[in-house]
Amino acid sequence: MSQTVDRALSILPLLAEGPADLGQVADRLGVHKSTALRLLRTLHEHGLVFRQSDQRYRLGARLFALAQEAVENLDVREIAHPHLVELNEKVGHTVHLAVYEENEVLYIDKVESRYPVRMYSRIGKPVAITVAAVAKLLLADLSEAERRAIAEKLDYPLYTARSTPNAPAFLRELATVREQGWATDLGGHEESINCVGAPIRGADGRVVAAMSVSAPNVVVTAEELLTLLPLVRRTAEAISRDYSGTGTGSGNTPTKEARSR
Cα 167 versus chain centre, distance:
25
Q: Which tens digits make up the pLDDT trace of 218-235?
A: 899 999 999 999 999 999
Sheet of 183-186, strand order: 104-111, 94-101, 207-216, 193-201, 183-186
98: Cβ–Cβ under 8 A, 6 or more apart, which residues?
Answer: 105, 106, 107, 108, 127, 132, 134, 135, 138, 209, 210, 211, 212
Binned at pLDDT 50, 70 and 90, residue 74 comes out as: low
Asked if the model's pLDDT at residue 210 lies above 80, the reply is yes
Report which of 88, 138, 96 is spatially closest to residue 113, judged by C-alpha positions.
88
pLDDT at position 101: 85
pLDDT digit string, tens, across residues 138-192: 999 999 999 999 999 999 999 999 999 999 999 999 999 999 999 999 999 999 9
